[in-house]
């Protein structure tokens, strides 16, 4: 369902942007690299009635997508924020159309839209979950486990997360670290809900290796091929029994419609940051739900800001598979919100407070800030 009740508009005084560097509890390794620190941009909408908070999910380098910290910082300050500040009043629904003339850069667009949404909903006294159409008060929590030094270390890591109560395990794979790693987890833990994520590390030449994964009865394989390989993904999907899920390729509701029409995917990972915001994410949810295609909520190592918003999104009825909506403690010793997401009986609660429903820990925010810029109208 489209947004049932739009939010009121707000008068923006400006934005404050910060680059944060938050240490990770343990290194996070994917097929595209290892991160020890999460570099992220926090975006604060400034208004007379109260501020709003958003997060831009770019990483330090253009490895997951072409977007990265400095590209987002530059385009936000040079083009996106000035376009928003030109308007007397901005409603959350106005943000994407106002920014549409600027090609791409969906991650900073999403961060700015979330900041406006948070401010508008706080002013109205509504929660983001209520606004988006959440139908649950908690969501099942899956965990994304990075590549480890060897399969034994992977089994140790997965065992720890299962002991904590995570209801679904996703492991990262890459060529040469797929069948062995997946088999080790299946041998150790049997029939657990298990899926794999390749982050674009394969080509169609690897189809024989990928067919070997079919015997593990995985929930899905996420993004085996490159972002723009929609046709190759369709070819691969016809060869595999394992359902193909797309992450990087789904940059908009149009991309999702194209992928479904081509048969490139039978499951979609929805990340609001990657698709330009929570409103576009809801449109993808609605499209997939109408087509009977399951979706789940992905993650980008969000701080407490994006983590709270993701929990609200994942509570929509079409999110029928557990998402990468884990506890803050999966990644961080210290978060930048006063009540970081926790795991309770394998679930994360959907915040009910106004806006994103969490408050900023100003001391932690300052501690992790490495750059800061304020723009006023």
The four Cα atoms 129, 135, 140, 145 give a dihedral, to 10 degrees, of -50
Q: How far apart are CA 253 and CA 258, in angstroms?
A: 9
User: Three-class SS of residue 178?
Assistant: coil
Q: Is 170 a catalytic residue?
A: no
69 sits near ligand OSB (criterion: CB under 6 A): no
The dihedral sign for the CA sequence 31, 32, 33, 37: negative
Task: State the nearest-atom distance from the C-beta of 366 to Mg ion, in Å.
Answer: 31
Q: Are 306 and 335 in contact (CB under 8 A)?
A: no
Residue 202 interface partner, choices Mg ion, ligand OSB, none, CB cut-off 5-8 Å depending on type: none
Residue 300 interface partner, choices ligand OSB, Mg ion, none, CB cut-off 5-8 Å depending on type: ligand OSB
Q: Looking at 134, 184, 284, 300, which residue binds ligand OSB (CB under 6 A)?
A: 300
303 sits near ligand OSB (criterion: CB under 6 A): no
C-beta of 119 vs 200, nearer to ligand OSB:
200
Residue 64 interface partner, choices Mg ion, ligand OSB, none, CB cut-off 5-8 Å depending on type: ligand OSB
Q: How far apart are CA 280 and CA 275, in angstroms?
A: 6
How far from 188 is each of 125, 156, 162, 185, CA to CA, in Å?
48, 10, 12, 5
Q: Looking at 55, 197, 229, 280, which residue binds ligand OSB (CB under 6 A)?
A: 197
Among 328, 350, 299, 354, which residue's Cα sits nearest to residue 125?
Answer: 354
Using CB atoms within 10 A of its CB, is residue 266 exposed (0-12), middle (13-18) or buried (19+)? middle
Which one is catalytic: 109, 170, 172, 174? 172
Q: Are strands 142-145 and 138-140 parallel, antiparallel or unpaired?
A: unpaired
31 sits near ligand OSB (criterion: CB under 6 A): no
Which one is catalytic: 109, 170, 174, 271? 271
- φ/ψ of 299, rounded to 5, equals -135, 160
Q: Provide the binding-site residues for Mg ion, judged by CB under 5 A.
A: 197, 222, 247
Q: Looking at 141, 148, 326, 328, which residue binds ligand OSB (CB under 6 A)?
A: 326
Q: Is 271 a catalytic residue?
A: yes
The residue whose Cβ lies closest to ligand OSB is 299
**DSSP secondary structure code for residue 355 in this structure:** B
319 sits near ligand OSB (criterion: CB under 6 A): no
Q: Looking at 113, 130, 247, 335, which residue binds ligand OSB (CB under 6 A)?
A: 247
Residues with a catalytic annotation lie at 172, 271
Binding site for ligand OSB (CB under 6 A): 64, 144, 197, 199, 247, 298-301, 324, 326
């Amino acid at each position: 369902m489209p947004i049932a009740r739009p939010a009121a508009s707000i008068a923006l005084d400006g934005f404050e942007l910060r680059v944060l560097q938050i240490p990770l509890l343990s290194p996070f390794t994917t097929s595209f690299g290892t991160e020890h620190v999460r570099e992220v941009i926090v975006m604060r909408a400034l208004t007379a009635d109260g501020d709003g908070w958003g997060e831009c999910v770019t990483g330090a380098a253009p490895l997951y997508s072409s977007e990265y910290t400095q590209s987002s910082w530059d385009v936000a300050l040079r083009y996106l924020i000035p376009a928003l500040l030109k308007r007397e009043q901005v409603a959350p629904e106005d943000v994407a159309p106002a920014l549409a003339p600027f090609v791409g850069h969906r991650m900073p667009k999403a961060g700015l839209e979330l900041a406006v949404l948070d401010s508008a909903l706080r002013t109205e006294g509504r929660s983001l979950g209520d606004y988006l159409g959440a139908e649950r008060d908690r969501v099942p929590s899956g965990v994304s486990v990075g590549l480890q030094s060897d399969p034994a270390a992977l089994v140790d890591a997965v065992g720890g997360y299962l002991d904590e109560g995570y209801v679904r395990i996703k492991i990262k794979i890459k060529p040469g670290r797929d069948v062995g790693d997946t088999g080790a987890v299946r041998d150790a833990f049997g029939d657990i809900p298990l899926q794999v994520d390749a982050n674009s590390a394969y080509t169609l030449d690897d189809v024989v290796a990928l067919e070997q994964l079919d015997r593990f009865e995985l929930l899905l394989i996420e993004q085996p091929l490159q972002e723009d390989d929609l046709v190759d993904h369709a070819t691969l999907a016809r060869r595999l029994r394992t359902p193909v899920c797309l992450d990087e390729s789904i940059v908009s509701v149009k991309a999702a419609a194209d992928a479904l029409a081509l048969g490139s995917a039978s499951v979609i990972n929805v990340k609001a940051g990657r698709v330009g915001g929570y409103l576009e994410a809801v449109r993808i949810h609605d499209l997939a739900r109408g087509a009977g295609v399951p979706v789940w909520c992905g993650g980008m190592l969000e701080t407490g800001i994006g983590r709270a918003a993701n929990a609200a999104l994942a509570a929509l009825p079409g999110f029928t598979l557990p998402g990468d909506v884990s506890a803050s403690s999966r990644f961080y010793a210290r978060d930048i919100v006063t009540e970081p997401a926790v795991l309770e009986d394998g679930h994360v609660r959907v915040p009910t407070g106004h806006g994103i429903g969490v408050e900023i820990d100003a001391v932690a925010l300052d501690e992790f800030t490495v750059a800061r810029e304020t723009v006023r109208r």
